[in-house]
Amino acid sequence: MNAALEREGPGLLLRDILRDDPQITAFAMVVRRVSPDILVLQGIDYDHGRVALRALRNKIDKDGGPHYPHVFTKRPNTGMPTGLDMDGDGRLGQSRDKQGFGRFAGQAGMAVLSRWPFDRQKMRDFSHVKWQDLPSASLPMSMDAPFPSFEAQKVQRLSSVGHWVLPVKLPHAPVLTLMTFHATPPVFDGPEDRNGHRNHDEILFWQKFLDGEFGPVPDDHFVLLGDANIDPVDGEGRKSAVNRLLADPRLQDPEPKRPGPVLQGPEQSGDPRLDTVAWPDDGPGHLRVQYLLPSSDLRVVNAGVHWPTPDTDVAAEASAAGPHRMVWVDIALPE
């Protein structure tokens, strides 16, 4: 789930958790209702001491939700200075001039909460990979020159937030490897379509990873999950990478759905039951942007999007937690 737990400045998320902010309370209730064994979050502010993450974990537990003795996070690329003009506007030091958009270091990072321990020694973080080092990278150009500059492309990381490969030690079972990320929105740029190219390549990274381009491929069961910030049918963006990923035979798309029937939006072609975010209709609208794709060897027992039917207290609670909805999949090891 993109938990929308990002604030305008450092320390404000912890403040709001301790104040029992209504949005955070609603989020904790959503976690309580879905009760996942492993919870992967995007859109959560990072702090070096992980104080806010542990406070959030304790709030979920206190509100009657699942207990997560194991938490994991790392510094994201958001808000990481580059010293260069990364968006071509001629100014330095702005939020868009960081390795990933951020008003401060660590804004809108990622985190994992789990009932079971992580194999931290085998965790791999690809957030440092340079964009230009991705095989078949689709780097933006303007006036037949690298955009915004050769110098900027030389230091630009691929990940706007991060790309992690994190094994989880299951009880009496093989390891389950989580592969997670949060791609940049393919909008908010100019005719060079810098964000569109980057979004495409952040998704493309996973196919290159599964092809062995970045070292050993997990030889155990794995799940690719995260916020790709793009719908395979509707909305803006370069859709080829996400559609190739959904069709990759090494993965399976259980197509988690919200309860139906659900009417299509005014400019929507895809199945609205697959949507995972409720952005305004006069903006991007309702789209499928969050994905949970188990490896093809795992058995999918059930799947869904926690999007309760309207006019209920539970629906109001899910809406109060933020625009995104929690996507869940129950999986079992093959017999």
Is residue 24 within 8 Å of residue 65, measured between CB atoms?
no
Across the chain, mean pLDDT equals: 95
Report, as an integer, the average pLDDT of 13-32: 96
Residue 302: the pLDDT is 98
d(CA 297, CA 46): 34
Instruction: Look up tokens 């062995």; give the residue.
Output: 212
Residue 206: the pLDDT is 98
Residue 334: the pLDDT is 80
State how far Cα 137 lies from the chain centre.
21
Does the pLDDT value for residue 275 go beyond 90?
Answer: yes
Residue 219: the pLDDT is 82
Query: Helices (DSSP H) in 170-299: which residue ranges?
Result: 194-210, 240-247
Does the pLDDT value for residue 271 go beyond 90?
Answer: yes
Report, as an integer, the average pLDDT of 188-202: 96
Kindly report, residue by residue over 46-93, the tens digit of the pLDDT. Answer: 998 999 999 999 999 986 789 999 999 999 999 999 999 999 999 999
Express as a percent the part of the chain with pLDDT over 70: 100
Residue 266: the pLDDT is 81
Does the pLDDT value for residue 98 go beyond 90?
Answer: yes
User: Where in the chain does DSSP place strands (E)?
Assistant: 2-5, 38-44, 70-72, 109-114, 124-125, 141-142, 145-146, 163-168, 176-182, 221-227, 277-278, 286-287, 290-294, 299-306, 326-332
State how far Cα 243 lies from the chain centre.
17
